Structure 1
Amino acid sequence: MKVMNQCLPPPNVKVMSCIFDRIFSAFRYFAGNSPHQMDLFLYLLEMDLTYRPEIRAQPLPDDPWFYSCIGFQNHVPDNPQAQTDAYAPLNHFLQAYNLHISYQENLDFPALVLELIKSFQENKVTILLIDQFYNRHSSYYHKMQNANHALLIKGMDTQQQQITICDKKDISYSFEEVKDMMTGGIIQLSCLDDKGFFQATPNYPVIYQNSKQKLNLLETIAPFFQEIEQTMRQESKIAFYAKAYYMSTLYQLIPFVTARDILFQNLKIPEKFQNAATASRAKWEEFSYWLAKISILKRLSYDQLTHRTSELFAMEQQFCQLPDKIPPVV
């Protein structure tokens, strides 16, 4: 058997975690050219984006990626041992689009091959959970054990005994390589029936009402900025912290403000809030680029840092007085 899903988009949204990034790719695959292909961002508004003070009490990890002091607290398990019922809230969201997510664990390699054959026949998208210690294409290869990661399966050739992974560029692995790095878990996204992806228009006013208390990020970013202004004074660790904050901003904060912007552009809400949501998104993106630059230069102007954080804080204050109710879009 030789099969390749040429329509599968690469995981390039940069949202939350490697697992959710791949789930987003699967969602976009089923959505195709639908105007709703980015609706999964709205699911982020069901979660709590919080500051994690406990991270500072732990020893600094070798990799800044593992120092994430901002993160989503619920609904999407970033854990290869997560049970199917942990995905229940996400499944509830996906049902509106006629989609379903499932999780299997404790698969051995022969069972994985059979499951992949079945998944291609049934037009399912499969995400393979691995340990990067055994992934020759990973920077963690033979360096860090239990470095959990997720790979998006694009194709398979049983005659050549290869499995193709969809990433920035397609990568082919031998069966033996996959067998070595798999942890036994897979996540699959599929349509609930043969009716395909539903062009479901989200109920934006209801989403607004349910997430209104979360749309103001001041409680999250106030301690975040306080930490940044303290740790970035440590010249010997500027590169580490700048990269850690860059990734927290890129993968956690920016996806949230993107979701907020998408929501506001689809509401009958005063234009000043729509403009503020778009401007805030742009400023957070600018802040992430600046942090990335600092991580390379390994130096910064402290005055410039406080100016940027003060500016972002002031922008978020605009969302303190949001309307109580929003009329439905006719």
Structure 2
Amino acid sequence: MNNYINRIEILIISSTLDFTTDYVCLELEKRGHSYLRINRDEFSNYNIQFDINELKLLVEIDDNKYLFDESSLLAIYYRAPIYLRDIYQPNLQMEEQLFRTQWTAFIRNLSIFEDVTWLNNPVATFRAENKLLQLKYAEKLGFLCPKTIVSNTNDLNLVPESTYIVKSLDTALLRTEDKEAFVYSSKVRGSEILEANLKVSPVVIQDYISPKIDIRVTVIGNKVYAAKIVQNNQGIDGDWRLLKEGLSYISITLPDDIKYKCIALVKKLDLAFGGIDLIKSIDEYYFIEINPTGEWAWLVDTAGLKIYEGICDYLVGELDYGM
């Protein structure tokens, strides 16, 4: 057995199918930084010992040993979900339920490493995923936000002829028979909401902003990457994610005040990373939401945004946090 212990600078928590993480791993290798990627779907293949008193984490994989402690560990890149929304599916065996819940709790508890750089700390991510808190902070920072109501009743002061956006309060992954269904944002008339039965669960109702151009902003520390999402160089009516073809992602430069507000919002939420959805309508920018675990790999090839470089800069201490 190999008794040599590798001291690692960067711990990456991901999954085997998370190709986004591949960009970061390749960039760290290119720069010569030591890292270990552990995949949450392979935890049963690892031997893990965590000495809480000495704050030392030992991970053994295929007879190779890796040590993490606060004297050598620079950063933790956390690419794992905070909410597990499918734990109680009827087809999950008890062993699988235990695997998912307890390993997820173990990963969350790595926040005991308080003096290392996190991207993002799971405690901060849990709080930041609250959409209403996001809107509160965004408005305080000076963002324009669409008028928003959360309700499970149609006894609302809506204009029947006007258009609204209805979306879930949290990511809604549903199961119908043997298929999974994802709930997208829906563009509806006020009359449809007023006639609907909303008793089952609360929904988010927002004024529909038109005309619009969707913008995805990725913030890492004080670095901002932005791309507009268009079809035939025009804004998209409704939720652009429903369109599978014909979309263009074009790198843009945001006005300085909008850029600084994006950085400030990420910092206000105690995050280092955030994927922010904005809407530009004529000359105004509206905040829609922020995703602390947002995807970004699709912007590397489509818009030429080298977001992985900014992530690696932050992990190795070459990028500041905030303004």
TM over 0.5: no
Q: TM-score, normalised by structure 2?
A: 0.29
| Higher relative strand content | 2
| Higher relative helix content | 1
Q: TM-score, normalised by structure 1?
A: 0.29
- Tell which has more relative contact order, 1 or 2 (C-alpha 8 A, sep 6+): 1
